[in-house]
Structure 1
Amino acid sequence: MTIRNEYPRPQLERKEWLNLNGEWQFAFDHGKSGIEREFYKEGPFTNTIQVPFCPESELSGIGYTDFMAAVWYKRVVQIPESWLNQRIILHFGAVDYHAHVWVNGQKAGEHKGGYTPFSLDVTNFLNGEEAIIVVCAEDDTRSGLQPRGKQSGRYYSAGCDYTRTTGIWQTVWMEAVPETYIKKTAYKTNPKSGTVSIEAYLNQYEKELVLELEATYKGKGVAKETAYVSGSHIHANLSLSEIHLWEPGKPQLYDLTLSLKKAGRVVDQVESYFGVRSVSIEDKAILINDKPIFQRLVLDQGFYPQGIYTAPTDEDLKKDIEISMEMGFNGARMHEKIFEPRFLYWADQLGYLVWGEHGNWGLDITGSKGLERFLPEWMEAVERDFNSPALIGWCPFNETWDQNGTRQNDEVLRITYEVTKRLDPTRPVIDTSGNFHVVTDVFDIHDYEQNVEKFAEKFAEMGRGGKAYVTFADRQQYENQPYFVSEYGGIWWNPGEKEGWGYGDKPESKEAFLQRYKGLTETLLKNPAICAFCYTQLYDIEQEVNGLYTYERRAKFDPSIIRNINSQKAAIEIAYEQKERE
């Protein structure tokens, strides 16, 4: 049985591909000595595992939750005969953390980073129609040298840290490509001019190639262009005959076919899509298509009871967005984790705003070593998700606390911010969510005050045009950016249970919970100086029980009650409408 059999890279899809999810041979390597002992030749593969689920998970068939220094995988793959005159690319969606790959006993490559994809051309390692693939994944969440996100650095889950993920946790797959093929693309859209700037990158240069681009909207042709290839990089502009904007809750998308041709013959062809929308900042507001949209976001951490980091099905990814929208949220902070591309695909399809964030917790950034470990993987994430219209901002770090009395290295944040802006000038960047800001396009704070009156008082002066409320005022300062309360609430609610963890005191009744939720949320919606909020959180995770849904995604409250609170017009939206009428 093939598990998670949907195409894993929906923004660059080919017909010829082979899903390698399912049963693999598996071995523990607690002493991390397997490479020295040459497990890649003949390892002690005494277990089996269901890929792409991590060995800590129930769905993997292993369910081992202690620390694992290294784990090994092996699978024999039969290469389709029709592929043997093409290049064979082996893809990994994500392997946590340091992956080594062998094909037919030969080292094919390696990759550091537990959240981003990597690909290997394995053609030269094949000897006929059989490929013996062996993977070693080394993982050390306690080293301070790798981002671990919300994976617990202790044996037990505790507070807001949960069960770890080791090894393969996203789809493994192969595809057949020609000698010269389309490797990646980048799209920049302009709603005002109705144009799309397209950058396409080939794996190598080849003479006499052209790239044909055809965009359609609901099956109707709206743009066509031919670009001549010079080098391995191609730039083209499409002028759309019809302009349909991608907006929150109104996800109008275009399909795009890219055909690489030589002498009139198709050499390579990929299917893609894009949304026409802009993101900008004006008058302390974040604008989507030149219109201020109050961002009613919820914290989503991407955990699942049976799969941990990996959703059991593609439908589960879609469902998390649907249950959020059912409660009146229009987006999410993808928190302390680089989510898999299929989540962004559904966000694009459903019109759901998301902020991209790395799982930086666990990485020591008090020195320059942190930048060395962080930046390469972050750049891969920005490149991977650049084309998603749903992604409207970047936030590489979250709550960069000092380590053992040593302050964060501000240059790590500054350099990461600058690199992100150069890679993507089209979106705002928050350097570190909550604290401690160094340079940021949006000023955000975290505040878990549970008393509604005290919470409201913190923001009252700025609501009257006065001084903004700043947490850690000795470490960061507000410079008139858009103001975002990116974590609040976290109201603890697991009635009848003594165990659990949440913020502040537990309300005495469901009515008291809803009254608190209403008071906290309306405080932010009605403040004209605030442009966005993010409530903690969408669903419970293990011992953290401050979700609006249980870990199994059962609603704790009537969704319509939460939706009615969230859907009230915000002060910045009312002001915009008044200005438009004048």
Structure 2
Amino acid sequence: MKNIFLGLLTVWACSTNLWSQDTNALLINTHNRKTTSLNGSWHYIVDPYENGYYNYRYEPFDQQEQPSTNAYFTNTKPKSPSDLIEYNFDEADTMQVPGDWNTQKEKLYYYEGTIWYKKSFDYPKTNLKNRIFLYVGAANYKTEAYLNGEKLGTHIGGFTPFNFEVTHLLKEKDNFIIFKVDNKRTKEGVPTLNTDWWNYGGITRDVKLIETPLTFIQDHFVHLDSKDNNIIKGEVNLKGGKNLAHEVTVEIPELRIKKKLTTDTSGRATFEIKSRKIEYWSPENPKLYDVSFTTNDEELQDQIGFRTITTQDDDILLNGKPILLKGISLHEESPITKGRANSRADAEKVLSWIKEMGGNYVRLSHYPHNEHIVRLADEMGILVWEENPVYWTIQWNNPKTYANAQNQLLEMIQRDKNRAAVIIWSMANETPVSDARNTFLTKLIKTARKTDPTRLISAALEQSSDPNNPNIKHIDDPMADVVDVLSFNQYLGWYGGTPESCRDAQWEITQNKPVIISEFGAGAKQGLHGDKNERWTEEYQEYLYIETLAMLQKIDQLSGISPWILVDFRSPRRPLPHIQDDYNRKGLISEDGKKKKAFWVLKEFYDTWK
């Protein structure tokens, strides 16, 4: 039976040119597709010298016509007692996927390097004309993927999804996936060598097989027209097969919308539909509509909210009305497992804390977070800032570094462009001004606007002081003239001065744009109490919040804030014993879920800020 199955697949694949690179385009809306989870227990091998990838001449095994049996991706087993095979996945230790290796295995806490993962599975495919894709939500940082000993491809970037078509390689029994995951920091990487968060390694998000028909809906984008909120605009893209001109029906049953489209030869169709019955998405009313796309072979549904987000002078307008963004920044750490967050339960916990503090907005720092939190923000009515991991000092003149940054930006936009909650694409955080950096970020902004013209563009910039009067603060950055929303980080009272310094600060912002203070804050060890002028105490953090919030209210253009940060998070830059212990302590909540005094200061502010 197995040989018949593979033979039929091979004949069909050759006749349809099945495995063109085009079919590896990122599949979106995987939450609503037919999937088989591969999460769970995976065997792993730690390989700091990468002996399973390179021979002793440092030549990659997977670039050889006949790879050595000691190439780990071949999963070779000895056939006789004399065979020399120096690894065995099936006898190796296991860890959970999704999950980081740092917090699952104590000896891997600081590990940076290569770990190989292996999962065995059966896949009784019932429809030989369907395609199968291997989808990975994220793996940090560079991933080499193999199925049944054949290389699928490489993905670079630790926070965005990727997929490979595997139809031609699947068997009914005894399949094995092997991933080589390498989290080493590199100077040409995005982010680069130096960050202020933990470099978690591993397969950190869901892994699944996705089944589609021969010609399938790869992508769709549905949104309101930013100039007329009675018009729903959209497009749908098909992939696979030689003839991509197909009929597609778009339906929104609750709005009594049903429209038939015909895709062009590239598989693309666009549409505009007018409706005066649309109930608009907002934090107060996070309305989502069931939207479906149907072809002769497939029906794909999504849950989509309709809203507009624009600016007018110094206001951010949601559905045409000014809104204040009452928010907080967040790293992707689990309040439950204390490692990399990867579940809906993780997302529910942190977003519920934001709701409790009176917030309506979250800045997902400093990279794309998992899809669970973005979809849940859609359901709960929490506005979202998403950020590309262009952080601090990148190799601005390196074309490969730019290509990497652009690819991660596009993968982030591709995955989340249908989420009403997402209102801002951020290009970078605290990057030093230079001509090369300005060119780099400007190109990213142009790419983002071309790909998705429906959202606002920002970047977390830095403030500077007037050379003649250090109490006067400016935003002297050419990017301030390019972004839609002027956002900047400031730490007066922590990295310079004391909380009382906030009283003398004067903000002279010349740009006629809405302002978001993307970061401010102070470190405090939960449970450590003392005088309000004693660093690391809850009282110091509380005092700084009181003084900072009073200062920021003097900024006329202030439209939002996202203080640093909701929960204490791991960082190897923070080694102070008995205080930090590898944690950045600027959270308003400890890693154990205990609220600090400043949490209640911010809540009181949000309850009264209008």
The answer, yes or no, to whether TM exceeds 0.5 is yes
**Equivalence map 1:125-164=2 (5 Å):** 125-141=169-185, 143-148=186-191, 161-164=196-199
User: Residues 231-276 of structure 1, C-alpha deviation per residue, up to 9 Å, x if partnerless?
Assistant: 2112123333521111123211111111112xxxxx0111102111
**Partner residue, 1:569:** 609
Q: Give the letter aligned to residue 229 of structure 1.
A: T
SS in 2 for 1:125: coil
Q: Are 1:346 and 2:376 an aligned pair?
A: yes
Q: Given the alignment, which residue of 505, 518, 536 partners 1:458? A: 505
Q: Give the letter aligned to residue 230 of structure 1.
A: D
**Partner residue, 2:490:** 447
Contact persistence 1:279–1:286 (CA under 8 A):
yes
Q: Are 1:206 and 2:243 an aligned pair?
A: yes
Distance 1:95 1:535, change over 3 A: same
The Cα shift of 1:189 comes to 1.0
Q: Which structure has the bigger radius of gyration?
A: 2
- 335-344 or 308-317, which moves further after superposition? 308-317
User: Residues 494-539 of structure 1, C-alpha deviation per residue, up to 9 Å, x if partnerless?
Assistant: 34389xxxx99527664x6545423322432454322221211111
**Partner residue, 2:425:** 394
Q: Are 1:314 and 2:350 an aligned pair?
A: no
Q: Are 1:271 and 2:301 an aligned pair?
A: yes
Unpaired segments of 5 or more residues in structure 1? 1-7, 154-159, 262-266, 469-477, 571-582
SS in 1 for 2:256: strand
Q: Give the letter aligned to residue 453 of structure 2.
A: P
Contact persistence 2:122–2:172 (CA under 8 A):
no
SS in 1 for 2:257: strand
User: Residues 304-351 of structure 1, C-alpha deviation per residue, up to 9 Å, x if partnerless?
Assistant: 366566326312211211101211121111111210111100111111
SS in 2 for 1:123: coil
Equivalent-residue separation in structure 2 for 1:410 and 1:249 (angstroms): 38
The Cα shift of 1:298 comes to 0.6
Distance 1:323 1:285, change over 3 A: same
The Cα shift of 1:23 comes to 0.7
Contact persistence 1:90–1:174 (CA under 8 A):
yes
**Partner residue, 2:467:** none
Equivalent-residue separation in structure 2 for 1:139 and 1:162 (angstroms): 13
Equivalent-residue separation in structure 2 for 1:48 and 1:11 (angstroms): 30
- 383-392 or 311-320, which moves further after superposition? 311-320
Contact persistence 2:290–2:304 (CA under 8 A):
yes
Distance 1:103 1:508, change over 3 A: closer
Equivalences, count: 521
Q: Given the alignment, which residue of 137, 140, 146 partners 1:102? A: 146
Equivalent-residue separation in structure 2 for 1:270 and 1:63 (angstroms): 44
Distance 1:207 1:379, change over 3 A: closer
User: Residues 92-124 of structure 1, C-alpha deviation per residue, up to 9 Å, x if partnerless?
Assistant: 101112211111111122211111111111011
Equivalent-residue separation in structure 2 for 1:117 and 1:509 (angstroms): 39
**Partner residue, 1:472:** none
Q: Give the letter aligned to residue 513 of structure 2.
A: Q
SS in 1 for 2:405: helix
**Partner residue, 1:475:** none
Contact persistence 2:392–2:432 (CA under 8 A):
no
**Partner residue, 1:230:** 264
**Partner residue, 1:175:** 210
Equivalent-residue separation in structure 1 for 2:562 and 2:598 (angstroms): 20
Equivalent-residue separation in structure 1 for 2:283 and 2:457 (angstroms): 19
**Partner residue, 2:103:** 57
Aligned-residue CA RMSD (Å): 2.9
Q: Are 1:47 and 2:93 an aligned pair?
A: yes
Contact persistence 1:98–1:112 (CA under 8 A):
yes
- The TM-score, its normalising length taken from structure 1, stands at 0.82
Equivalent-residue separation in structure 1 for 2:599 and 2:397 (angstroms): 45
Contact persistence 1:209–1:229 (CA under 8 A):
yes
Q: Give the letter aligned to residue 148 of structure 2.
A: N
- The TM-score, its normalising length taken from structure 2, stands at 0.79
**Equivalence map 1:50-129=2 (5 Å):** 50-58=96-104, 64-129=108-173
User: Residues 452-500 of structure 1, C-alpha deviation per residue, up to 9 Å, x if partnerless?
Assistant: 55324324xx5xxxx32xxxxxxxxx532222221112353434389xx
Equivalent-residue separation in structure 2 for 1:307 and 1:145 (angstroms): 31
**Partner residue, 1:377:** 408
SS in 2 for 1:179: coil
Q: Given the alignment, which residue of 513, 517, 531 partners 2:559? A: 531
Report percent identity of matched pairs. 21
User: Residues 421-456 of structure 1, C-alpha deviation per residue, up to 9 Å, x if partnerless?
Assistant: 211222221244337553322222221112455324
- 384-393 or 427-436, which moves further after superposition? 427-436
User: Residues 109-144 of structure 1, C-alpha deviation per residue, up to 9 Å, x if partnerless?
Assistant: 221111111111101112444421111112321x21
Q: Give the letter aligned to residue 492 of structure 2.
A: E
Contact persistence 1:507–1:513 (CA under 8 A):
yes
SS in 1 for 2:378: helix
